[in-house]
Amino acid sequence: MNSTRRNCGRHYSSREEMITERLRKLEEITNYPVIQENGQRICGPPTGWMKPVPNNGSEIFIGKLPPSLLEDELFKIFSKVGQIYQIRLMVHFSGYNKGFGFVTYENVEQAKMAVEQFNGYPVRPNHKIGVCKSVDNRRLYIGGIMEDKTKDEIKKAIECYVDELKDIIVYSPHAQNQQAHNRGYVFAEFATHRDAALARKLLSSGVKLWMNSPSPLRVKILYVRNLPYQITKQQLHFYLVQHVRLGNITRVRKQKCYAFIHFQHRNAAQMALSILNGLTAWGRKMEVTWSRPQIYSKENRLNHAADNFCRSVPAKMRRCVQMLKDGVPPGWFKPSTSGAPSL
């Protein structure tokens, strides 16, 4: 940007220079260092801070911020009610904010005063900000945990990817099983809300906690069809336990002429599928499949080329897909029977 901007009585050749100069001046006056990481600009705590870290509830949320508002203006406004420990402003690559940020005070009382005094405060002509207590959520839900892993194994695996993990909460499985140590999910406790947010961003990107372990097949529900309308859930459950061990079935859900059978483990469901499929019950032959057929799974879609083209798909693209299915590398010609090269 070559246009000249005027701010605070000075001329700046670019927006980046203006932001850098104002933040440098803020550091010199307040002794609050400013760093930028992970999409946010952090101002504070002040150099030489010897007091304890503020307790939970000392942080406030600030919304409806003008994009051009910087930390020096926030510091001037919010320092009126108490000592600021830290300012966190969510920013774009341009350096301007995303419309919200957080201010942490020395104690909870100062944070309450800031909410009461500055909610609806006009920071620009006809522009009022919103201030409320920050929801300091330091607990993170993590699913897809292998049920044979213990609490210590899960914690060590998570600590390989995230920092400031304080503890994990593991619930014992519903049914008694010597192989299962959890319910397939845990709650992770972090030191701060920021640490929990960073961990959520990292773990949601497809991280596998156990790279050398096979991925467990999560489907443990069977779909049973061609059942009589008049039979009840209790009658169906009594019939199933005659062929499958009672401890393996966790739930039976009957609806009209079909039902869903929930099992404790995948192996038990696999065995029940081979036993029940094709059996005759109440004068009808049962059809048993997985509740989510494998042809609709994500893995199957990625490993198989589509063959149900609509009329709008060009013929050339259909031939290219057919070549991929036949094992011909893209860009190669497939020899025809006549010897002439053709697609």
| pLDDT block averages, 10 residues each, the chain of length 343 | 43 75 92 86 90 88 92 94 93 87 93 94 92 82 79 85 84 70 83 79 69 52 85 86 77 85 81 84 82 55 55 64 62 46 42
Alpha-carbon distance 229 to 90, whole Å?
58
Residues 288 and 313 in one domain: no
Which is nearest to 87 in space by CA: 127, 32, 49? Answer: 32
Alpha-carbon distance 166 to 79, whole Å?
31
Alpha-carbon distance 154 to 144, whole Å?
11
Which is nearest to 330 in space by CA: 316, 312, 310? Answer: 316
Q: Quick one: pLDDT at residue 119?
A: 94
262: Cα within 13 Å, side-chain hemisphere: 8
Domain finish residue from 117, 133, 149:
133
Alpha-carbon distance 153 to 168, whole Å?
11
Residues 120 and 56 in one domain: yes
Indicate the residue type of 141.
Y
Domain extent for 107: 5-133
284 to 255, 257, 269: CA distances (angstroms)? 16, 11, 21
Q: Is residue 210 part of a domain?
A: no
Dihedrals phi, psi of 161, to nearest 5 degrees = -115, -25
Residues 168 and 67 in one domain: no
**What tokens does 245 get?**
């061990």
Alpha-carbon distance 339 to 169, whole Å?
67
Q: Is residue 276 part of a domain?
A: yes
Structurally, the chain folds into a number of domains equal to: 4
Residues 225 and 166 in one domain: no
Asked if 306 contacts 321 with a C-beta cutoff of 8 angstroms, the reply is yes
| Residue that has been written with the tokens 């038990």 in this structure | 268
Write down the number of H helices and E strands in the chain.
9, 21
Domain finish residue from 203, 232, 254:
203
Which is nearest to 7 in space by CA: 189, 16, 276? Answer: 16
In sign, the C-alpha dihedral spanning 70, 72, 73, 78 is: positive
